[in-house]
Amino acid sequence: MLEEEEVPTPVMEERRRALLAIILVGAAPSLSTIISFTVDNGTASQIIFVITKLWLLCFPLYWLLKVDRGSISWSKPQQGGYLMSIGLGVGMSVGMVGTWLLLGDAIDAKLLSDALEPVGLMDPKIYLLATIYWILINSLLEEYVFRWFLVIKSEVLVGEGYPAIFLSAFIFVIHHTVALAVFGFPWWANLLSSVALFIGGAIFSWLYVRYRSVWIPYIAHAICDVAVFGVGAIILF
């Protein structure tokens, strides 16, 4: 007897599209990190870095306009959240600095500097420019990608609320874990950092879900990056 072919329902098809979008966007940062730091060529690494950032910027926008048939929004905060974001950002930063003060001696500064040298980040001026870029631009790009795009796709795939928050946080932490491994962090430090990053990513996603604006989690994210690059400068220079 012939069985009837299962026809995907609109909900199933929407979930499949969401999964595809999550894979195409979520995997890009990890692949970029692996390729950039395994290619023994600073220029090639920088080109890969730029291509990845353009992909992360353009693909979600293309998906919004062409697949979801949505419209562009500046994600203007309309429900407040500024004080909540600042407080959480400062609190997480204090926690990171405190952890570094307790465990920072275990970080191999030489291994870290060797990983950063090929891309020019051991030049203090370039490091400063990179810090400014990461705080003002990259943090915002990550909120655009991991909080706006991946949170809403996670809501379609696994449901709204904490399932979407935890899934987007998990995707957020993967490429950071890969990067820390490349930078030579010992496994236990990488594990500790990854747990902290998961918590931070979940907080950022919660802020987006609560206030529906990428600018609110961006404030907390930028504050945390100030602490991260400040500690990095102390370790490296």
What does the pLDDT look like over 156-191, one tens digit per residue?
A: 999 999 999 999 999 999 988 988 887 777 788 788
Answer for the pair 106, 186: CB distance below 8 angstroms, yes or no.
Answer: yes
Q: What is the pTM of this model?
A: 0.86
233: Cβ–Cβ under 8 A, 6 or more apart, which residues? 127, 131
**Structure token digits, residue 212:** 């529906």
What pLDDT score was predicted for residue 2? 44
Res 144 pLDDT > 50: yes
**Residue 192, number of CB atoms within 10 A of its CB:** 15
C-alpha span between 164 and 157 (Å, rounded): 8
What does the pLDDT look like over 83-138, one tens digit per residue?
A: 999 999 999 999 989 988 887 677 767 777 776 776 677 788 889 999 999 999 99
Of 158, 161, 139, 150, which Cα lies nearest the Cα of 216? 139
How far, rounded to the nearest angstrom, does the alpha carbon of residue 105 sit from its chain's CA centroid?
A: 26
The torsion angle over the Cα atoms of residues 25, 170, 147 and 18, rounded to 10 degrees, is 50
Find the helix or strand (DSSP H, E) in which 151 lies.
Answer: helix 150-158
Answer for the pair 167, 47: CB distance below 8 angstroms, yes or no.
Answer: no
C-alpha span between 115 and 120 (Å, rounded): 10
C-alpha span between 81 and 210 (Å, rounded): 9
- List the chain domain ranges: 10-236
